[in-house]
Amino acid sequence: METLERPLEGIKVVEMATFIAVPAAGRILADMGAEVVKIESAKGDNLRYTAPNEGRPLDPHEDTNFDLENSGKKGIVIDLRTDKGMGILFKLLEEADIFLTNWRPQALERKHLTYEELKEKFPKLVYASLTGYGEKGPDKDLPGFDYTAFFARSGWSGSLYQKGTVPSNLIPALGDHQAAMALTCGALAALFRAKMTGKGEKVSTNLLHTAIWVQGFQVQGAQYGNEFKGVSYPFDRRDNQLPYQPAVQTKDDRFLQVMGPNYSIYFPLFMKAIGREDLIEDPVFSNQRAMLDAGRNGELYDIIQEGFRQKTLEEWIPILTELDIPYAICQTYEEVAKDEQAWANDVFFEMDYPRGPKALVRTPIDFEQTALPPYDKAPLLGENTEEVLSGLGYTDQEIEAMIADNTVGIWKE
């Protein structure tokens, strides 16, 4: 295979963002070949210090999650509270094609970094912004994390749990990564327009909108209530309209997720799997509408659950495979990191660290005629400051002076 330049070779991106969502978008662009300069304060991106929350070592040389979001970038430390620091930012933007930020609207206004102000100086610039709750409305300046703006406010936490219990456990970055994909999509479309017309554009999204969009089926269906015998979230697993859809537990206490949206096709297959062929022609169970009208979906749920408890996971795999029933083992994260199918499709890259190699997740976009990008460790805090400043035309003496007066910072062990 001929190795060609990556799609965004020659594109320059300035990232002024912390935590996950916008840096993840920057990481995607870097993987596509863009030169991404990440701006941090002297304290650094807050994501550099979250390792204890995630069961990882607090070590800048083994910061797997920071590497996940920031591989392939150049890191520079600038004090944007100073005029000289803002001058460096504007020099970067003069050469940039895309500006990424997750600063809240009020902070951007204070620093005169709104789209309206920057488009006058940089008319070809693509300005890409991501916030928690959007840039309009009463809550536009609220701090937003995926736990709050994505999961809670959108209905996810209040709906997708077993009725009578509590909202399910959440994980960081799930919402951030989905919003990052949306922002990346918009930024690339705007970049194409800018290259075609010479006119920049503002692209924006937010965690709340992204979360509502990915749950659009449920949000729209909920507006009909029970008019068409639907279910209202949260609901009991036993009330599922597809009684075989909830995860099933095996004899050896593993869970399998099975699926089959067409009841008339999959009901008889499940009955064959659990040895209940006697129910295939049952006048109630064989017809989904009749089953629901009779209120017997909970009964069928119990039959299916009991059937799957009769065999081990190893015994179920060939049975489900032979019947062509869609299924997947409910794996733990430890198992996912060793998944043969994932490794075969370049989902992971093995990175060497002081405590041994770790599987790092790649961004989920592959190209046929360009090689996979290198998976480098993220820049240490201020690691590329001198290199970036030199590339902007600053002399060695000017750089040394700015380091001395803390306008910029460099990495120190």
Answer whether 228's CB lies under 8 Å from 220's CB: no
Q: Is the pLDDT of residue 1 over 50?
A: no
| Domain C-terminal end among 329, 364, 388 | 329
| Domain C-terminal end among 303, 329, 355 | 329
Domain identity same for 287 and 352: no
Residue 223: inside a domain: no
Residues marked as catalytic: 176
Summarize pLDDT for 286-297 with one digit per residue, the tens.
999 999 999 999
Domain identity same for 16 and 148: yes
CATH for 106: 3.40.50.10540
Residue 220: inside a domain: no
Which range has the worst mean pLDDT, 43-47, 170-174, 222-226? 222-226
Query: What per-residue confidence (pLDDT) applies to 371?
Result: 84
The stretches of 288-384 forming alpha helices (DSSP H) are 288-293, 297-308, 313-322, 333-336, 340-344
Q: Which two tokens stand for residue 400?
A: 């040394």
Residue 3: inside a domain: no
Instruction: Give the residue carrying structure tokens 């909108």.
Output: 209
**Per-residue pLDDT averaged across 218-234, rounded?**
83
Q: Is the pLDDT of residue 2 over 70?
A: no
Domain identity same for 377 and 271: no
Query: What per-residue confidence (pLDDT) applies to 4?
Result: 64
| Element of type H or E holding 186 | helix 174-197
Summarize pLDDT for 147-191 with one digit per residue, the tens.
999 999 999 999 999 999 999 999 999 999 999 999 999 999 999
**Number of domain units in the chain:** 2
Domain identity same for 123 and 64: yes
Q: How far apart are CA 308 and CA 256, in angstroms?
A: 9
Summarize pLDDT for 344-396 with one digit per residue, the tens.
999 999 999 999 999 999 999 999 988 889 999 999 999 999 999 999 999 99
Residue 154 domain boundaries: 12-214+341-409
Q: In a 10 Å sphere around its CB, with 0-12 CB exposed, 13-18 middle and 19+ buried, how is residue 346 labelled?
A: exposed
Confidence at 225, pLDDT banded by 50, 70, 90: confident
CATH for 255: 3.30.1540.10
Q: How far apart are CA 244 and CA 223, in angstroms?
A: 25
**Per-residue pLDDT averaged across 56-84, rounded?**
97
Max distance between CA atoms of the chain, in angstroms, equals 87
Domain identity same for 145 and 47: yes
Across the chain, mean pLDDT equals 95
